[in-house]
């Protein structure tokens, strides 16, 4: 039985996903300004936040297992490692500092949709948001659709588009994001800093030889954040061996309501490839 508080957190999480996905389609020019709200509500009430993925290979052993496993993956419409908030304000996209608009919000929490007035702070669902004034104040109410908080963290197990074999996906652990300085144990390799929207993914299996057996960033280099399509939150290795994936502390907290509501071990077992 799922607790009522968990349902509230799940709905808030699903709302964040809906807004993020709608914003992505809006920026890509797939929907018009007048279609934003309809798209948000349609995404909110249809479908799940997760999907099943079969992974094979020993790169992620022992987390997944040498013979593969069925994974429950939380969808990520736009991976954002920096935590910079972006918003849709009166159909204009603005950042947390109010560029391209009059107002901005700062928060480290989930997304929220709220009608606010020209005040300095807003309290909603137990979260305190700071309202940033960026020009002359306005007296009328302003409608804000805000997308808040990081979506991926270093230490998360993510599904990434294969940078070599287009159309395929690989499961690796997020080891570094933009701004990290990368240094190799091989003296022939020069240190470098990951650029904007770049990340470094690694295999878990320490028994594999780097650049030879371990197919990860040590082989193909950095990958772009947009290639991350989801975070693995649960793994079924066989009918009696399954459990949550060891992600970062922040992600496990964010994913807990999704796991409680959408996890169906019996369904995963039916789709498992022995």
Catalytic site positions: 59, 172
| Nearest by Cα to 254 from 51, 94, 14 | 14
Q: For residues 158 and 243, what is the distance between their CA atoms, to the nearest angstrom? A: 16
**Three-class SS state of 64:** coil
For the beta carbon of residue 33, count every other beta carbon within 10 angstroms: 11
Q: For residues 59 and 114, what is the distance between their CA atoms, to the nearest angstrom? A: 44
Q: For residues 251 and 195, what is the distance between their CA atoms, to the nearest angstrom? A: 23
Phi-psi category of 125—alpha, beta or left, where left has phi over 0 and alpha has psi -120 to 50?
Answer: left
Dig out the tokens for 36 from the structure. 């934003």
Cβ contact 117:104 at 8 Å: no
Q: For residues 104 and 58, what is the distance between their CA atoms, to the nearest angstrom? A: 46
| CA angle in degrees (0–180, nearest 5) for 249-79-253 | 20
**Long-range CB contacts for residues 29-36, cutoff 8 Å, separation at least 24:** 33/91, 36/88, 36/91, 36/145
**Three-class SS state of 123:** strand
């Amino acid at each position: 039985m799922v607790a009522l508080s968990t349902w509230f957190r799940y709905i808030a999480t699903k709302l964040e996903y809906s807004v993020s996905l709608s914003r992505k389609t809006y920026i890509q020019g797939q929907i018009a300004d007048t279609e934003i709200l309809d798209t948000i509500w349609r995404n909110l009430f249809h479908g799940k936040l997760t999907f099943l993925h079969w992974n094979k290979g020993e790169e992620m052993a022992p987390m997944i297992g040498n013979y593969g496993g069925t994974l429950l993956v939380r969808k990520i419409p736009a991976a954002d490692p920096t935590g910079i908030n972006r918003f849709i304000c009166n159909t204009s996209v603005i950042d947390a500092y109010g560029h391209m608009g009059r107002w901005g919000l700062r928060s480290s929490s989930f997304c929220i949709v709220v009608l606010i007035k020209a005040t300095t702070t807003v309290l909603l669902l137990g979260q305190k948001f700071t309202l940033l004034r960026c020009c002359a104040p306005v007296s009328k109410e302003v409608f804000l659709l805000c997308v808040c908080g990081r979506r991926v963290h270093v230490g998360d197990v993510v599904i990434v588009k294969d940078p070599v074999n287009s159309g395929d996906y690989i499961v690796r652990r997020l080891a570094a994001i933009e701004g990290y300085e990368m240094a190799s144990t091989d003296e022939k390799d020069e240190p470098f800093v990951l650029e904007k929207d770049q990340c470094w993914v690694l295999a878990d299996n320490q028994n594999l030889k780097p650049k030879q057996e371990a197919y990860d960033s040590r082989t193909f280099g950095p990958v772009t954040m947009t290639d991350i399509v989801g975070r693995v939150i649960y793994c079924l290795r066989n009918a009696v061996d399954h459990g949550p994936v060891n992600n970062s502390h922040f992600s496990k907290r964010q994913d807990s309501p999704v796991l409680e509501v959408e996890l169906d071990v019996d369904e995963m077992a039916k789709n498992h490839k022995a």
